[in-house]
Amino acid sequence: MTSELEAARSLRASGLPVTKEARPGHWAVKILRSPWLWVFLGATALFAACLGWMYVTSVTPTPTEGGGEVPGLNLSAIRRSALLALPTLAVWVAAFVALDRFRPMRLGFWYLALGWGAAVSTALSMVINTWASRQMAIVGADPSSGARAAVFVAPFVEEATKATIVFFIAVAVRYRIVSTLQAVTLAGLSAAGFAFTENILYYSRVIVYSSMTIGTGDPEQALNTIVFLRGVKTAFGHPLFTTLMALGFIVGLRAQSKIVRIIAPLVGYLAAALGHMVFNFFASVGLDDTVMAIIGWAIALSLIIYLIRRILAEGRRQRDRLGDYVDMGWLPPNVVVLFTRQRTRWACFFISLTYGWRAMFATLRIQRTMSELAYLRDAELHGTVDAAGALRARTLLDEARALAPVAVTDPAVQKLQLPKLPAWLRRRRRTPAAGTWAPPGYAPASFLPGQVGSPGYSPVDPRWGPPKG
């Protein structure tokens, strides 16, 4: 008992999860007992509250110093603006989710990052920007719309609020954020959500203002201009700046030095705020939109090239780290090829769909398990995980051996399980359908053979034999 407590304490000290014994019971009861269910429900309630507050604030007219008021937004304008801002959001979400490929974060964490940026970050930024602008004594109908607030206040506030969710997730599940791609994905989703809500507000203001003010020209042309400006030409803004923060964050998270762990995220945050400040400054002084777009997309392109190189580097790292376990005799050699090639992993997943839900979930779990095993070894080499890594590695290997008989791990051997012919057609032909389809209840062969002398070991395949019948 004492050794188990010491092992659990060692795992927690390294930020690794402690495996708990499965409790018997219905699956619905297990879901209700999961703390993450209540985290997601609480986060959803928080998102709804922030969006509701922003809606009430936006539709309420704002009084001005001269006794007049700025008209509020309306529901039809917000609804139309949301449809116009949706394509930009969809493109960014697809891009960042595709980036997180080797050990992707679970869907719930993507949802937390996107919802935080779209609801909580925007609401906090509205409150803090308005308060700071009033403290700076900016005169105008909308205190947060002044140039000084856009240059000196908004960048620091918005980058801090967008990045907060990444810190929260890292504190809760530090062992899950193991690569640059994961940090960039979480930060990018938060930034995409922030830009989505901000675009809705900007588009709605143009719709309301142009419909109520005489002499503004063609309202549709004004709306199309700002949609193209914010949704296409300068759409790089928030994702680019927050990605710079994510790069500094992941450097600090994987660093062994305590000084680097503190300085690297701070440098990333200052770089993001500085880039945001320069962008707002040029927009405030009236720099040509096309020039800003060329400069911004050139910087974004260099960052995209860097991330593509990181994808290739992550593939090499997966091969090298799983190769370490092969050299130690913990894994067979074919594991390196089966679990580090993206096309092989995708082929196994699509083949597993034809074997049923149980095989599909087992395939996904074993792929995640092997990726975690590779990054665990990498953390040991970096010195961020101590001897507790060996305990976690044994647990992951046991899980992989338990999943292997059910999962699809080799697409060259385990073929598609196509549906059988109808009963009436089989009776007409009076012969079984030709092919290599497995019989009902067949479990795919394991890539981890049983130990010699164990119940799962056999020197000869028991399915071999003369033709039946």
Q: Where are the domains of the chain?
A: 31-63+70-287, 334-429
**Type of residue found at 263:** I
Give the model confidence (pLDDT) of 100-120 as tens digits.
Answer: 887 888 888 999 999 999 999
Among the listed residues 435, 420, 407, the one whose alpha carbon sits nearest the alpha carbon of residue 351: 407
Average pLDDT over residues 405-414: 86
Task: Name the packing angle between helices 388-403 and 357-382 (round to 10°).
Answer: 160
CB of 400 closer than 8 Å to CB of 389: no
Average pLDDT over residues 143-156: 72
* pLDDT at 441 exceeding the cut of 60: no
Mean of per-residue pLDDT scores for the chain:
80
* pLDDT at 321 exceeding the cut of 70: yes
Position 436 scores a pLDDT of 32
Spatial distance between the Cα atoms of 179 and 326, rounded to a whole number of angstroms: 22
Output phi, psi for 56, to 5 deg. -65, -40
**Cα angle 120-123-124, degrees, rounded to a multiple of 5:** 85
Position 450 scores a pLDDT of 42
Position 442 scores a pLDDT of 37
Picking from 21-35, 165-179, 204-218, 382-396, which range would have the lowest pLDDT averaged per residue? Answer: 21-35
Position 203 scores a pLDDT of 93
Picking from 45-49, 208-212, 238-242, 360-364, which range would have the lowest pLDDT averaged per residue? Answer: 208-212
Listed ranges 91-100, 213-222, 378-387; the one with the highest mean pLDDT: 91-100
Q: Is 383 left (phi over 0), alpha (psi -120 to 50) or beta?
A: left
- Of 376 and 448, the structure prediction assigns the larger pLDDT to 376
Tokens (6 digits) for 282: 């040029």
Position 95 scores a pLDDT of 93
Position 177 scores a pLDDT of 84
Quote the DSSP letter at residue 439: P
- Of 457 and 336, the structure prediction assigns the larger pLDDT to 336
CB of 374 closer than 8 Å to CB of 322: yes
Spatial distance between the Cα atoms of 77 and 205, rounded to a whole number of angstroms: 8
* pLDDT at 448 exceeding the cut of 70: no
Give the model confidence (pLDDT) of 270-306 as tens digits.
Answer: 999 999 999 988 888 878 888 989 999 999 999 999 9
Position 143 scores a pLDDT of 44
Average pLDDT over residues 251-260: 83
Average pLDDT over residues 416-434: 54
Spatial distance between the Cα atoms of 346 and 363, rounded to a whole number of angstroms: 10
Position 455 scores a pLDDT of 43
Spatial distance between the Cα atoms of 181 and 193, rounded to a whole number of angstroms: 18
Listed ranges 101-110, 229-238, 411-420; the one with the highest mean pLDDT: 229-238
**Type of residue found at 298:** A
Position 151 scores a pLDDT of 80
Spatial distance between the Cα atoms of 112 and 118, rounded to a whole number of angstroms: 10
CB of 144 closer than 8 Å to CB of 133: yes
Position 458 scores a pLDDT of 44
Tokens (6 digits) for 355: 């074997």
Position 285 scores a pLDDT of 82
Position 244 scores a pLDDT of 92
* pLDDT at 454 exceeding the cut of 70: no
Three-state SS at 413: coil
Position 161 scores a pLDDT of 93
CB of 160 closer than 8 Å to CB of 242: no
